[in-house]
Amino acid sequence: METDRPDGRTPNQLRPLAYSCSILHRAHGSASWAQGETKVLAAVYGPKAGTKKNENPEKASIEVIWKPKTGQIGKMEKEYEMILKRTLESICIRTIYPNTTTSVIVQVVHDDGALLPCAINAACAALVDAGIPLKHLAVAICCSVTDSGCIILDPTKDEEERSLQVGSEPMENGIMTSVTQGAMSVNDYLHCLERGRAACASLSEFVRKNIGTKSTSEPSKAG
Amino acid sequence: MGLPNVSEDLSSEMEVDAFRRLFPLRYFERHLAESIRPDGRPLGKARETSIFLGAVASANGSALVKIGSTTILTAIKMEVMTPSLESPDEGCLAIDFHMPPICSPIVRPGRPAEASPVVSKQLSDTISSSKMIDLKELSLVSGKAAWMAYLDIYCLDADGALFDAALLSAVASLSHLQIPVVAMNDDGKIVLVSEEDGQKREQEPVNKEKRKLTLRSIPFSLTCILHKNYILADPTAEEESIMETHVTVVLDTSGQLISLYKPGGPVLAYTSAIQDCAALTRQRVKELKSFLDKANSAMEVE
């Protein structure tokens, strides 16, 4: 049941990853994350004084601004902002800087499928670059179920028909964030989780290697 | 003798209220340790659900849904439009979720609530993913005329699990929807045939009579809260604000998983928790299906 993919990848193969940080000078932390043609640029500012309405002043709050490549901000962008905000809130240690707001600006450079996992990875790398205290690191992956029931990882725009995005932690491999589109059986979903966890492990190794190199070579800008 | 009892009862009641307000998380955890919730429900049970079809007479389809105190009103308006070039044989659904200031103390007039576009997007994705409606059924003349259905969903009381109530309301109103009669006039345009003109019948109707949509697999959802080792089904607004990890599972009547939505949150979901949520949702799908069938059969009698 091996399906041929248009770009020649095997079902379990990710697109080439490209990662760089500290690319913006004014931002306290910034990171660029690309998977194949999909590319996202994230910038972090803060912690800044004050919290917005309806926020808890005893904790640090996180504001996420999602900028699409073209067009106005619509419902999809609002949903992505909310998902990113909740995900980043769950990995940050929010009691260290009470009554502050950290802004995370996510700019979509190009979208060729698997956009939300790319944005999650870029935002986490930008938070690390800014020196924001984190409990753990989150990595995200996208799985797709084809019509023949085969599960493929890291789909391109053409392959995205029934997709599932899993954000998980490398330490415990629990699910932090999950978004699905299309219909699938529950067993297919659980199989996607297993494949996603394995892919997140390799992604986590990639992140650890690159961030480790960065942190020893340069001091943090937010300090 | 009566006076000390009265003051004692009053003081103990005040202590409980003060404890709930000052230490809400501990108050809930004390109940969770006894496998019960402050409103008396067991952990896996949803609140009382009622569906009322035909609440808005001027709309082509409408439904009022209450789950506990959460109240959602949906109305559908049908309009004839020109289909797009990409899909000339298909009609269109436009779903909008509104949270007016009447529904919650945190919603202010003017600026739309933060949750509105998120629930709108979730609803659109769920209804299109489930393929509940064949959009070709909404086509009238290929490339020239098709139905556009505007679903306006209003939250009248936001007491938690808004998406569950909104999806049930949208599904109920679509099952109640009656597509009006249309005819081709002399200029070749599609016009609505109102019931007064029905007697004349000079124009030939494109579709003969009012008809209902064919619904295929119907999606239903259940939102659960994960907190430590507990899973709480169908949370209230207070429970949602205190415990922050929400998982929404949408299954359709054929058992397919339409959506599994977990937007962050401090508690990690493992496979066993997901399987438990899916099992609770399967049970809930059966309940809601029987509620919807009962409401539809009650409408048939009228």
CA–CA separation, A189 and A180 (whole Å):
9
Mean pLDDT (10-residue bins), chain A, 223 residues: 70 86 89 91 89 76 89 85 88 88 93 90 93 87 82 81 61 76 85 83 82 50 34
Give percent above pLDDT 70 in chain B: 86
pLDDT digits (tens, 9 = 90+) for B113-147: 878 899 998 899 899 888 888 888 888 888 878 98
Instruction: Select the more confidently predicted residue: B213 or B88.
Output: B88
Beta-strand relationship, B245-252 and B257-261: antiparallel
Show residues of chain A in contact with B120, CB under 8 Å: 75
Inside any domain, residue B165: yes
B70 phi and psi angles, rounded to 5 deg: -65, 125
CA–CA separation, A85 and A103 (whole Å):
10
Q: What mean pLDDT is reported for chain B?
A: 83
CA–CA separation, A44 and B55 (whole Å):
49
Residue among A146, A193, A191 nearest A167 (CA): A193
Peptide bond between residue A47 and the one before it cis (omega within 30 degrees of 0): yes
- What are the structural domains, with CATH classification, of chain A? 17-214 (3.30.230.70)
B57 in A contact zone (CB under 8 Å): no
B150 phi and psi angles, rounded to 5 deg: -100, 115
Q: Tokens representing B214?
A: 């064919």
Domain co-membership, B120 together with B195: no
CA–CA separation, B167 and B11 (whole Å):
43
A88 in B contact zone (CB under 8 Å): yes
CA–CA separation, B92 and B169 (whole Å):
19
B89 in A contact zone (CB under 8 Å): no
B142 in A contact zone (CB under 8 Å): no
Q: What is the pLDDT of residue B199?
A: 43
Domain co-membership, B203 together with B190: yes
In the block, tokens 């009609």 appear at B91
Q: What is the pLDDT of residue A221?
A: 35
Show residues of chain A in contact with B263, CB under 8 Å: 82-83, 86-87, 177, 179
Domain co-membership, B65 together with B205: no
Show residues of chain B in contact with A190, CB under 8 Å: 271, 274-275
Domain co-membership, B196 together with B96: no
Query: Nearest C-alpha of chain B: how many angstroms from A218?
Result: 31
Q: Give, in order, the Cα–Cα distances in Å from B1 to each of A222, B4, B14.
A: 68, 6, 21
Cβ-based burial of A222 (10 A; exposed 0-12, middle 13-18, buried ≥19): middle
- Please indicate whether, in this complex, the C-beta atoms of B260 and A78 are within 8 angstroms of each other: no
Residue among B272, B248, B268 nearest B258 (CA): B248
How sure is the predictor about B34, in pLDDT bands with cuts at 50, 70 and 90?
A: confident
Within 13 Å of residue B96, how many CA atoms lie on the same side as its CB? 12
Structural domain of B88: 41-177+213-300
Q: Give, in order, the Cα–Cα distances in Å from B184 to each of B89, B91, B145.
A: 18, 18, 11
A73 in B contact zone (CB under 8 Å): no
Q: How many helices (H) and strands (E) does chain B have?
A: 6, 14
Domain co-membership, B135 together with B189: no
Query: Nearest C-alpha of chain A: how many angstroms from B87?
Result: 18
Compute the average pLDDT of residues B71-100.
Answer: 89
3-state SS string for A194-218? HHHHHHHHHHHHHHHHHHHHHHHHC
Show residues of chain B in contact with A179, CB under 8 Å: 261-263
Q: Tokens representing B4?
A: 């000390």
For residue B294, is pLDDT > 90?
Answer: no
Query: Nearest C-alpha of chain A: how many angstroms from B130?
Result: 6
Nearest to A185 among B118, B256, B263 (CB): B256
Nearest CA in chain B to A74: B117
- Please indicate whether, in this complex, the C-beta atoms of A190 and B274 are within 8 angstroms of each other: yes
Q: What is the pLDDT of residue A220?
A: 36
Show residues of chain B in contact with A89, CB under 8 Å: 264
Q: What is the pLDDT of residue A211?
A: 73
Inside any domain, residue B2: no
Domain co-membership, B80 together with B153: yes
pLDDT digits (tens, 9 = 90+) for B162-208: 999 999 999 999 998 888 877 766 666 666 665 444 444 445 565 55
Domain co-membership, B167 together with B257: yes
CATH number at residue B160: 3.30.230.70
B261 in A contact zone (CB under 8 Å): yes
Q: ∠ CA A177-A181-A186 to the nearest 5 degrees?
A: 80
- Using DSSP, state whether B21 is helix, strand or coil: helix
Range A119-140 burial, b when 16+ CB lie within 10 A, else e: bbbbbbbbbbbbbbeeeebbbb
Query: Nearest C-alpha of chain A: how many angstroms from B252?
Result: 9
How sure is the predictor about B82, in pLDDT bands with cuts at 50, 70 and 90?
A: confident
Q: How many helices (H) and strands (E) does chain A have?
A: 3, 9
How sure is the predictor about B5, in pLDDT bands with cuts at 50, 70 and 90?
A: low
- Please indicate whether, in this complex, the C-beta atoms of B263 and A83 are within 8 angstroms of each other: yes
- Please indicate whether, in this complex, the C-beta atoms of B263 and A180 are within 8 angstroms of each other: no
Domain co-membership, B123 together with B254: yes
CA–CA separation, B80 and B148 (whole Å):
6
B94 in A contact zone (CB under 8 Å): no
Domain co-membership, B83 together with B161: yes
Inside any domain, residue B278: yes
